[in-house]
Amino acid sequence: DAGVIQSPRHEVTEMGQEVTLRCKLISGHNSLFWYRQTMMRGLELLIYFNNNVPIDDSGMPEDRFSAKMPNASFSTLKIQPSEPRDSAVYFCASTVNEYLNTDTQYFGPGTRLTVL
């Protein structure tokens, strides 16, 4: 099993540019989580999808952030326009989730985003 795959692994961009992060779930998993990790704020949940449907997007910082699941195995997180304060490591994680119980989450290697 290849595990959760994220791309790119590193992204350096200039303020105002659009950034798209990508994530491929583990085959058979039905839940996807996008997290952001910074020294100041730790690991924050941005959005949670279950069976392709966004369940909780209360962690999405603002309208500049959007996330989609065009199919059951793939997701994108887009930031438009990007700002320096968006610099962080972005992780996605997947699991097999029953609605009322979150079991082990499998994390991808992360995308380190730097916005200049």
Smaller CB distance to other proteins: residue 6 or 82? 6
Instruction: Find the part of the chain contacting other proteins (CB under 8 A) among 22-30, 40-48, 61-69, 77-85.
Output: 40-48
Question: Phi and psi for 61 in degrees, rounded to 5?
Answer: -60, -45
User: Does the protein bind other proteins through residue 97 (CB under 8 A)?
Assistant: yes
Q: How far is CA 28 from CA 59, 76, 106, in A?
A: 25, 18, 12
Amino acid identity, residue 65?
Answer: F
User: Does the protein bind other proteins through residue 109 (CB under 8 A)?
Assistant: yes
Pick one of 79, 93, 113, 115: the residue that binds other proteins (CB under 8 A): 93
User: Does the protein bind other proteins through residue 33 (CB under 8 A)?
Assistant: yes
Is residue 46 packed enough to be buried (19+ CB in 10 Å), middle (13-18) or exposed (0-12)?
buried
Token pair of 97 as six digits: 């989730």
Token pair of 100 as six digits: 């009322």
User: Does the protein bind other proteins through residue 55 (CB under 8 A)?
Assistant: yes
Q: Which residues bind other proteins (CB under 8 A)?
A: 4, 33, 35, 42-43, 45, 48, 50, 55-56, 91, 93, 97-110
